[in-house]
């Protein structure tokens, strides 16, 4: 069998790619996945978060990727995000173009009849109705609207801002990842092969052309290799394949296939911090959904309106056990700090540095966002349902708390960023082709060149859909 498209990674984007490309019976498609089929696993990665502090970096190692284990949040990135993307000289990724890919992915069970939503895609999108909100959720929404934040019933509508029901990719309480919505129905096709438990070691490149992948000591040859392993695994795979900063690779003993200084650079992630609150007796049912509302704030006191802050209420027991909590999560969606993905040697896990608070202004933004969350928690509407832990009084004390307690919101982007011709830091072009290496593309969140104001799972689905459209359109 001659493979036309060899997709590395059966994650959120990879499953969409596999379904779309294999819909053409003339194309032979093979998907490599390091994880098992149907049994959730984790890559066991770690990342430097602030200073030298390292924390686990959860990444799904399973057919379906991280969408098999995430919170099912399906919030789109914003119009302004894609305007910024297109302004780099990449018009194929402007809002009007990607909107069609969002629509093709979804069936919005609440707003599917509206022109900016899909009503015939594989992924069901739904929201918890207000009548089913728990008391802490109701109280927080009341507190936010009283503080001047608008209520928005459809947070995926163009221009949506404020607080509203959290869109999820689920049907009832059942998770609906792309492994289920896209890949599973396509697996009966004779031209699609899924190979779980097969980790890609490196892309094989000869004289400037990718001709396959080495996996488990075996060479799989293909006309085109498409990396969809996700961030940070796709940038790490490029580096192990000799595609990246030449001097850095030579220092690791890796033969250079293409000198691309941008590989592993410009990593984006969203710092998060929590404000725990103890529910009042009877305020939080045992079977309460974990998330019901989400906020993208257009204004936190002292800042320009930029939809740059994320706020969400998580209900339920902590990850390591204990009584149920009503925890307010705060996140900065557009931090200025950037991180990196590098290697310690020719093999082994990547070294991930998230770079949080590297730019001094970021800590000040999070401090004010956290204080704003504390003010919301003190509002009588929320305080009647849950008692928040007291926030530190002074800036120095709060800064110390944030440096010690900030974590990754697992919304990693970049490391193989897209850019126009002439951009020395660009790794891929507008068509997702890797610069300087024929027959190789990247089609996952690694290509994103700007921050996205979202949890990124739905954006990964869109990227898989959009990239597939570009590939099918040729040449």
Annotated binding site for FAD: 62
Asked whether the beta carbons of 364 and 333 are under 8 A apart, the reply is no
Q: For residues 409 and 450, what is the distance between their CA atoms, to the nearest angstrom?
A: 17
Residue 441 has φ and ψ, to the nearest 5°, of -130, 160
Distances (CA, A) of 11 to 42, 67, 71, 243: 12, 7, 15, 22
Are residues 408 and 271 in contact, defined by beta-carbon separation less than 8 angstroms? yes
Which residue in this structure is represented by tokens 């019976």? Answer: 25
Q: Tokens 């969203």 identify what position?
A: 270
Q: Alpha-carbon distance 406 to 337, whole Å?
A: 14
Q: Cα–Cα distance between 300 and 316 in angstroms, integer?
A: 27
Q: What are phi and psi of 176, to 5 degrees?
A: -130, 75
Rounded to 10 degrees, what is the CA torsion of 253, 255, 260, 261? 10
Start-to-end C-alpha separation, the chain: 22
Q: Report how far Cα 206 is from the mean position of its chain's Cα atoms.
A: 32
Please give the Cα distance from 428 to 223 (Å, whole number).
Answer: 18
User: How do 218-227 and 440-442 pair as beta strands?
Assistant: parallel
Give me 92's structure tokens. 């194929």
Annotated binding-site positions: 62
CA nearest to 391, candidates 403, 399, 380, 383: 399
């Amino acid at each position: 069998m001659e493979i036309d498209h060899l997709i590395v990674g059966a994650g959120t984007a990879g499953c969409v790619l596999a379904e779309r490309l294999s819909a053409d019976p003339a194309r032979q498609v093979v998907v490599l996945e390091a994880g098992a089929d149907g049994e959730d696993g984790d890559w066991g990665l770690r990342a430097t978060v602030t200073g030298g502090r390292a924390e686990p970096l959860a990444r799904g190692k399973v057919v379906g990727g991280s969408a098999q284990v995430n919170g099912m949040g399906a919030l789109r990135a914003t119009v302004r995000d894609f305007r910024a993307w297109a302004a780099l000289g990449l018009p194929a990724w402007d809002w009007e173009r990607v909107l069609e890919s969002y629509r093709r992915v979804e069936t919005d069970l609440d707003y599917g009849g509206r022109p900016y939503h899909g009503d015939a895609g594989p992924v069901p999108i739904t929201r918890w109705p207000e009548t089913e909100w728990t008391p802490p959720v109701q109280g927080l929404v009341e507190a936010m609207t009283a503080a001047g934040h608008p209520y928005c019933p459809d947070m995926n509508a163009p221009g949506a801002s404020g607080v509203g029901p959290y869109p999820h990719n689920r049907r009832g309480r059942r998770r609906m990842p792309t492994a289920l919505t896209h890949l599973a129905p396509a697996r009966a096709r004779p031209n699609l092969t899924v190979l779980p438990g097969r980790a890609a070691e490196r892309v094989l490149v000869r004289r400037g052309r990718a001709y396959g992948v080495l996996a488990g000591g075996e060479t799989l040859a293909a006309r085109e290799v498409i990396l969809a392993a996700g961030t940070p695994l796709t940038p790490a795979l490029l580096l192990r394949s000799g595609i990246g900063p030449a001097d850095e690779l030579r220092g690791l003993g890796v033969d250079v296939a293409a000198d691309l200084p941008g590989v592993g650079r410009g990593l984006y992630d969203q710092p998060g911090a929590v404000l725990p609150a103890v529910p009042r007796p009877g305020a939080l049912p045992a079977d309460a959904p974990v998330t019901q509302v989400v906020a993208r704030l257009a204004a936190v006191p002292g800042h320009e309106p930029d939809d740059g802050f994320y706020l969400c209420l998580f209900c339920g027991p902590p990850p390591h056990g204990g009584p149920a909590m009503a925890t307010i999560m705060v996140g900065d969606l557009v931090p200025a700090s950037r991180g990196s993905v590098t290697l310690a040697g020719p093999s082994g896990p990547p070294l991930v540095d998230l770079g949080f608070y590297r730019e001094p202004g970021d800590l000040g933004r999070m401090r004010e966002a956290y204080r704003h969350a504390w003010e919301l928690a003190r509002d009588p509407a929320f305080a009647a349902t849950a008692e928040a832990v007291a926030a530190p009084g002074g800036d120095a004390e709060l800064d110390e708390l944030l440096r010690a307690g900030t974590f990754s919101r697992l919304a990693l982007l970049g490391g193989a960023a897209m850019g126009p011709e002439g951009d020395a830091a660009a790794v891929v072009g507008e068509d997702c082709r890797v610069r300087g290496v024929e027959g190789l593309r990247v089609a996952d969140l690694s290509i994103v060149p700007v921050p996205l104001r979202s949890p990124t799972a739905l954006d990964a689905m869109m990227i898989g859909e959009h990239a597939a459209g570009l590939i099918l359109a040729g040449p």
